[in-house]
Amino acid sequence: MVLWAAASLAGANAFAAQADAATECIVPSKPGGGFDLTCKLVRKGMAVIEPAAASMHLSYLPGGIGAVAWNMVISQRRAGPNTVVAFSGGSLMNMALGKFGRFTTDDVRWVAGIGTDYGMIAVRRDSPYKTLRELVEAIRKDPSTLPVGGGGTIGSQDWIKMGLLAKAVGGDPRKLRFVAFEGGGEAFTALMAGHVQVVSGDASEAVLHLASGDIRVLAVLADARLPGVLQDVPTAREQGFDLSWPIIRGVYMGPDVSDADYQAWVRRFDRMMSTPAFDRLRAEHGLYPFAMTGAAFTGYVKKTVEQAGKQARDLGLLR
Q: What is the mean pLDDT of the chain?
A: 89
Distances in whole angstroms, Cα of residue 162 to Cα of each of 104, 157, 237, 273, 303: 26, 9, 14, 33, 23
- The domain limits of the chain are 6-117+246-314, 118-239
Sign of CA dihedral 275, 266, 253, 310: negative
- By the 8 A CB rule, do 59 and 73 touch? no
pLDDT digits (tens, 9 = 90+) for 246-272: 989 999 999 999 999 999 999 999 999
* pTM, two decimal places: 0.77
Quick one: pLDDT at residue 21?
A: 55
pLDDT tens per residue, range 127-136: 999 999 999 9
Q: What number of helices (H) and strands (E) belong to the chain?
A: 11, 10
Pairing of β 109-124 and β 215-221: antiparallel
Give residue 184's pLDDT: 81
- Band of pLDDT at residue 182, cut at 50, 70 and 90: confident
- CATH architecture of structural domain 118-239: 3-Layer(aba) Sandwich (3.40)
Angle CA 61–285–266, to nearest 5: 70
Question: How far apart, in whole angstroms, are the C-alpha atoms of residue 12 and residue 66?
Answer: 12
265/269 Cα distance (integer angstroms): 6
- Whether pLDDT at 216 is above 90: yes
pLDDT single digits (tens) 14-35 = 334 333 458 999 999 888 878 9
Mean pLDDT, residues 143-162 taken together: 90
State the Cα–Cα distance between residues 206 and 287, nearest whole angstrom: 11
To the question of domain 6-117+246-314 being in CATH 3.40.50.2300, the answer is: no
Residue 13: is its pLDDT beyond 50?
A: no
How many angstroms separate the Cα of 211 from the Cα of each of 168, 208, 214, 231?
Answer: 32, 7, 8, 14
Q: Same CATH fold, 118-239 and 6-117+246-314?
A: yes
- pLDDT at residue number 151: 84
pLDDT by residue (tens digit) across 40-97? 999 999 999 999 999 999 999 998 878 899 999 999 999 999 999 999 988 898 888 8
